[in-house]
Amino acid sequence: MDLIQSFSVDHTLIVPGIFLSREDKVGSGSVTTYDIRLKRPNREPVIDVAAMHSLEHLIATFLRNDPDWKDEVIYWGPMGCLTGFYLILKGSRSPREIYDLVLNAFKSVSDAQAVPGAAPVNCGHYLMHNLGMAKWYAAEFAEYLEANSGKAEIFEYPRAERLVTDDGQHFFDS
């Protein structure tokens, strides 16, 4: 069985940043999935679940209301490992091209007075939110992005090398 693309990223080397996870052709166009990574996998504590849920609501609302981007946004949601989010956009852009969008989305969290859609009629677990911690994580990530914007490592995945033997067996390089 083939290893899916997101598992070919060396998670022992990845740092927080904005990465192109995959690009898919759809009809005559394309959609691109971005990995918006807030935490170093397996080295930092994951994002608090309630804060992650709040960030999902806050940033999804920001993205779907941004006049320049709202028609391009297909999906914003958390990674199962709770180290970041996936953003799916119409078209094909480099991670650097969406830097301002992502930075502004995380900066916008600081202005929030409440979590949008945090009511029983709108949300599957409306009591599981933490606006204060969401603001803290958002500020931490925005500051990190600004401090590291000139570094390629926050835009380019470290890849896990795969050795393929003559008979087709796949091995990860240790």
Give 3-28 pLDDT, tens digit per residue. 666 666 778 889 999 999 999 999 99
pLDDT digit string (tens) for 30-67? 999 999 999 999 999 999 999 999 999 999 999 999 99
Q: How many CB atoms lie within 10 A of CB 8?
A: 14
* Conformation bin of residue 12: beta by default, left when phi > 0, alpha when psi is -120 to 50: alpha
Residues in the chain: 174
Cα gap 73→66, rounded to integer Å? 10
* CA atoms lying within 13 Å on the CB side of residue 87: 34
Q: Name the pLDDT band for 134 (thresholds 50, 70, 90).
A: very high
Q: What is the pTM of this model?
A: 0.88
Q: Of 132, 137, 101, nearest to 114 (Cα)?
A: 132
